[in-house]
Amino acid sequence: MGDSQQFEIWKKDIMPVLTSKVEEFHMLGYDRATQEDVWECVLAKLKKEKEYVRIHHLVRIILTLKITDYMTFLTIGAYKGPNWFDGETEFTFGDK
């Protein structure tokens, strides 16, 4: 895919599509869905593309995004989050 993609430039143009997808997720009961999370999920899917992605393909990916794919993305992101047990952070309990 390379660095020649212009997803951030297109983000402003496709904001109505992102808004529509977030509203769809809200209607399905997923009230915590945000435009930024949906955007990050779509970008993660597009990283797998080997060819240059056109804007109509980007819109199609957003419109066909399923709630299961979105929730899987969030779950994997939670697992990849900060490691609480890496030993760098010292936890204190009480007044100690």
Report domain extents, the chain.
7-74
Per-residue pLDDT tens digits of the chain, which is 96 residues long = 444 578 889 999 999 999 999 999 999 999 999 999 999 999 999 988 888 889 999 999 999 999 999 999 999 988 887 766 666 656 566 655
Cβ atoms of 61 and 42 within 8 Å: the answer is yes
Does this model's pTM top 0.85?
no
Q: How far is residue 73 CA from its own chain's centroid?
A: 7
pLDDT at site 70: 96
Buried b / exposed e along 14-27 (16+ C-beta atoms within 10 A): beebbeebbeebee
pLDDT at site 88: 60
